[in-house]
Amino acid sequence: EIIMTQSPATLSVSPGERATLSCRASQSVSSNLAWYQQQPGQAPRLLIYGASTRATGIPARFSGSGSGTEFTLTISSLQSEDFAVYYCQQYNNWLTFGPGTKVDIK
Amino acid sequence: QLQLQESGPGLGKPSETLSLTCTVSGGSISKSTYYWGWIRQPPGKGLEWIGTINYSGSTYYNPSLKSRVTISVDTSKNQFSLKLSSVTAADTAVYYCARPRVGGAPTYAFDIWGQGTMVTVSS
């Protein structure tokens, strides 16, 4: 099983600032990596797939990068609706999720 | 617009079998190459993939749950279902049904999700 880890567990950011979230895989997942945003009480929303391709309707302030075992989600200028929990997910070998990073207001 | 809706009992007893159904609207399960999946989330915790199925009944299961999981499809009702046997309190979670973004891929990024249904296992 591929183990996904995310850091930090919590990221405190002021509105308008940049947020950088990290995701690491225990072995290479190539570019088969997705990012999701989850608001309280809601289903996850797909943000990024293929490590760097934004899903339909996702604002350009969200960007993904990386390949192999190291990945990054960047939110260039945090809006109020961006404060949420973010999960990475690999789909290279079965499917596993990271534990999440909570982005909260500083 | 494709929509997914989970349904089923919100409460189950230890050792019993949990049964949930996902109804697909706005599209046909049998007229697509997509797989259809189940994912769960224990309260306050992360996400866990349970398994996926396609219109012909081909299934892929999370190895850690495989011995207890059965996913089936009913194309006449445009539904797919989850059965999880021998449940314990650790199976208490919100259960989501979801569809991968790409057809023909049993595991991929999921871009369409149901709203989720909470299932509590307690005696």
Q: How confident is the model at residue B22 (pLDDT cuts 50, 70, 90)?
A: very high
**pLDDT (tens digit per residue) in B71-110:** 999 999 999 999 999 999 999 999 999 999 988 888 899 9
- Give the up-direction half-sphere exposure of residue B104: CA atoms within 13 A in the CB hemisphere: 0
Instruction: Specify the amino acid at residue B112.
Output: I
Q: Write down the pLDDT at residue B104.
A: 85
**Looking at the complex, does the CB of residue A44 fall below 8 Å from at least one CB of chain B?**
yes
Amino acid at site A70: E
Question: Between chain A and chain B, how many beta carbons pairs sit less than 8 Å apart?
Answer: 54
Q: B15 — contact with chain A (CB < 8 Å)?
A: no
Mean pLDDT (whole number) for B56-80: 96
* Residue B107 touches chain A, beta carbons under 8 Å: yes
Strand partners, B83: B19, B70
pLDDT given at position A30: 97
Q: What is the mean pLDDT of residues A93-104?
A: 96
CA distance A76 to chain B (A): 23
pLDDT attached to residue B30? 86
Look at residue A91 and tell me whether its pLDDT is greater than 90.
yes
Contact assignment for A49 to B101 by CB distance below 8 Å:
yes
- CA gap A52, A68 in Å, rounded: 13
Dist CA B23 CA B10 (whole Å): 17
Yes or no, beta carbons of A91 and B107 under 8 Å apart: yes
> Residue B32: what pLDDT?
82
Q: What is the mean pLDDT of residues A49-57?
A: 97
Nearest to residue A95, comparing CAs of A3, A14, A19?
A3
- Mean pLDDT for chain B overall: 95
Distance of residue A87 Cα from the nearest chain B Cα, in angstroms: 8
**Are A91 and B113 an interchain contact pair (Cβ–Cβ within 8 Å)?**
no
pLDDT tens digits, A11-34: 999 999 999 999 999 999 999 999
The whole-number average pLDDT for the span A47-75 is: 98
Mean pLDDT to the nearest integer, B54-59? 93
> And the tokens for B59?
């299934």
Rg of chain A over Cα atoms, rounded to whole angstroms, equals: 13
B47 touches chain A (CB under 8 A): yes
Is B82:B7 a contact under the CB 8 Å cutoff? no
Beta strand pairing call for B93-100 and B79-84: unpaired
Average pLDDT in chain A: 97
Alpha carbons B10 and B20: distance in angstroms, whole number: 9
Chain B contact present for A64, CB below 8 A: no
Arithmetic mean of pLDDT, A67-73: 98
Cβ atoms of residues B47 and A92 within 8 Å: no
Percent of chain B with pLDDT over 70: 100
Spatial separation of the C-alpha atoms in residues A86 and A89, rounded to whole Å: 10
| HSE-CB of A105 using CA atoms within 13 angstroms | 6
CB burial of B64-88 (b: ≥16 within 10 Å; e: otherwise) equals ebeebbbbebeeeebbbbbebeebe
State pLDDT tens for residues B24-38.
999 999 888 999 999
CB B82 within 8 A of CB B93: no
Q: CA B4 to CA B80: how far, in whole Å? A: 10
Q: Using 50, 70 and 90 to split pLDDT, how confident is the model at A90?
A: very high
Q: Cβ contacts (< 8 Å) between A46 and chain B: which residues?
A: 101, 109-111
* A9/B contact by beta carbon, under 8 A: no
